[in-house]
Amino acid sequence: MAELLRTAREYGYPPREFVSERLGASIPTVDRWIKEAKKRNHLPRDWATARSEETDR
């Protein structure tokens, strides 16, 4: 899921909607997944504003 968010951002798609459509999940579910990905350090806390090089950890 974190990789899909990065891919969406790289290509200029709205990340939450992109993941929602790709995985068949609602936006609130995607938001929960994002929160959990941050908690598990799969995404930086500022993933939406960080440069892509910074998120490629």
pLDDT at residue 45 in the model: 84
Nearest to 43 by CA among 54, 24, 10: 54
9, two tokens: 């951002």
Q: Could you give the number of structural domains in the chain? A: 1
Please determine, for residue 44, whether its predicted confidence score (pLDDT) is greater than 80: yes
Residues 6+ apart with CB under 8 A from 15: 4, 5, 8, 9, 48
Query: Which ranges of 1-57 does DSSP label H, i.e. alpha helix?
Result: 2-11, 15-23, 27-39, 52-55
Task: Identify the residue whose tokens are 């995985």.
Answer: 23
Can you give the pTM of this predicted structure? 0.77
**Residues of the domain holding 49:** 2-55
Higher pLDDT, 36 or 56: 36
Please determine, for residue 57, whether its predicted confidence score (pLDDT) is greater than 80: no
Question: For the segment 22-43, what is each residue's pLDDT rounded down to a tens digit?
Answer: 999 999 999 999 999 999 998 8
Nearest to 9 by CA among 51, 44, 42: 51
